[in-house]
Structure 1
Amino acid sequence: MTTALGLPDPYRDAAFYEDTAIKRALAWVVDVVLITALSVALTPLTLFTSIFYFPLFYLCVGFAYRSASIAKWSGTPGMRLMSVELRDVNGERFDIVNAALHTAGYTAAVVFFPLQLMSGALMIGTARKQGLVDLVLGSAAINRAALA
């Protein structure tokens, strides 16, 4: 079931990676909507000063949202909705360190948009459907349904 790295083999166990790129894109849309709603809901707690630095505020809320949810469930609520979960190089669920590193890499890719485009292309073109951050960390997104 797994390779020496601990992740499922993309050729013998292709079901683990089937449609994960599309599911991650849909999960991203769900998460953007939730992070936007959360950022707007938290704005009054800043006495509305976050209106003046909303993009930075949004990035901070998004970082906390993604790091906390990935550390707890090994995926964001959007990923859970799409039945996708992140696994580390050993095939284990993410811990807080991996979650923070993955989120930091994602945030850097959002800030430097060409990295995001490169990540999307890699998700389409690699056997394990790994994005740029996944390749650096050795992680991958897999289908939860294939685990059953």
Structure 2
Amino acid sequence: MTYGLPDPQMRADFYDGVTAKRAIAWVIDTALILGTAIVLIPFTAFTALFFFPVFLFVVGFIYRWSTLSGAGATWGMRMMGVELRDRDGHRLDSGTAFWHTVGYTVSIAVFPLQLVSVLMMLLSERNQGLTDHILGTAAINRML
């Protein structure tokens, strides 16, 4: 149940274009994560080069968890005017942000789950991906 989220029938403006904005935000976030990982390589005495995919995964996990906690949006999502809200309509707390990041990470690691998630975003009433459905979260347009 999603008690505090805007009703998509009554307040469609909260959900208009969110899926496309999330896709663009994902590209921005991926570039930021890659750039951050590259900048951090010297601080690992260049050992991160030997396990760069794992290092990239860790940097991405920390980035997503830390930016979703409290603010409810990654920097890419903020640039696109989108934020995640929990089932009560509040910004994500650290625990929910952690589990959302875990769900995202699993869906990225298991490609069929990512396909399911994208299809769910395109077809569901609130544009929710797989992790959003499980946690009761939704991405909405940030209203000023």
Check whether TM > 0.5.
yes
TM-score if structure 2 supplies the norm length? 0.97
How large is the Cα RMSD of the aligned pairs? 1.1
Asked if 1 retains the 8 angstrom alpha-carbon contact of 2:18 and 2:82, the reply is yes
**Within the alignment, does 1:18 sit opposite 2:39 as a pair?**
no
Offset of residue 15 of structure 1: 0.5
Structure-to-structure mapping, 1:1-148, within 5 angstroms: 5-145=3-143, 148=144
Identity within the alignment, %: 48
C-alpha distance in 1, partners of 2:40/2:2? 45
Q: Which runs of 5+ in 2 are unaligned?
A: none
Secondary structure, in 3 states, of the residue corresponding to 1:141? Answer: strand
Q: Which runs of 5+ in 1 are unaligned?
A: none
Structure 1 outlier segments of 4+, above 4 Å? none
Offset of residue 113 of structure 1: 1.2
C-alpha distance in 2, partners of 1:131/1:45? 35
Asked if 1 retains the 8 angstrom alpha-carbon contact of 2:16 and 2:141, the reply is yes
C-alpha distance in 2, partners of 1:77/1:101? 19
1:88-109: per-residue Cα shift (whole Å, max 9, x none)?
A: 0111110100111000100111
C-alpha distance in 1, partners of 2:8/2:87? 14
TM-score if structure 1 supplies the norm length? 0.94
